[in-house]
Chain A
């Protein structure tokens, strides 16, 4: 059981380039999230999805796009990379029920630098 897997772990992009951050989970979780974490800061929600075919904006969606064609995968797309998007990106997933034991599980992160 791999949990939440993110690829790549590290990436350097030039301004204006595009890339897709991959996220896959094998826990059959309906809910998936993308967060970014700037140095010394907390996690800010970029986009989230409550199931295949459904996505919603979080706190900081500008400059990003997502898709959710399957329950397992939730890729994050950067179309025109900017230095402000230099950050560590975390993907997470969770079970839809709201009781205890429905915490979000996180991937190990993708460290992105835009130069």
Chain B
């Protein structure tokens, strides 16, 4: 079946370094993707989104890259801070999928001081 998956379950980075979190998706009909951050004990919080007609979108310290050829999505966090420690999820919205958002398993980002 269709799925959204993440390459790495845990990513450890040094404070100040850049972080790259990857996501593979298999539904070629998806046209909208979202990155969420979830801190312990809280609900997911929106970080950034991108439509399939774009290959890059930038926010404050974050950049999302979309490669439709290989069905790959990445989230880049610049100058990672301790407050960035969380689980990061990518979600996809398939065209004609009833506007369902499908989530991957998540990547735990740990920022080391």
Interface residues of A (CB under 8 A from B): 4, 31, 33, 35, 41-45, 48, 50, 56, 58, 90, 92, 94, 96, 98-109
Give 25 CB contacts A-B under 8 Å: A33-B100, A41-B105, A41-B106, A42-B89, A42-B103, A43-B44, A43-B103, A45-B100, A48-B100, A50-B99, A58-B100, A90-B44, A94-B99, A94-B101, A99-B32, A100-B51, A103-B34, A103-B46, A104-B91, A106-B43, A107-B43, A108-B42, A108-B43, A109-B41, A109-B42
With an 8 A cutoff between CB atoms, is B28 at the interface?
no
**Per-residue 0/1 for B24-46: is the Cβ within 8 Å of any A Cβ (1 yes, 0 no)?**
00000001101010000111111
Which residues on the B side are within 8 Å of A106 (C-beta)?
36, 43-45
Which residues on the A side are within 8 Å of B44 (C-beta)?
43, 90, 106
B50 in complex: contacting residue of A41, A45, A100, CB < 8 Å: A100
A42 in complex: contacting residue of B32, B46, B106, CB < 8 Å: B106
Closest CB in chain A relative to B107 CB, distance in Å: 10
B93 in complex: contacting residue of A58, A98, A107, CB < 8 Å: A98
Q: Is the CB of A104 within 8 A of B42?
A: no
The 10 closest A-B pairs by CB, nearest first: A106-B43, A103-B46, A43-B103, A42-B103, A42-B105, A106-B44, A108-B43, A100-B49, A103-B34, A109-B43
Which residues on the B side are within 8 Å of A45 (C-beta)?
100-102
Which residues on the A side are within 8 Å of B89 (C-beta)?
42-43
Q: Please measure, in the bound complex, the distance between the C-alpha atom of A98 and the C-alpha atom of B99, giving whole angstroms.
A: 8
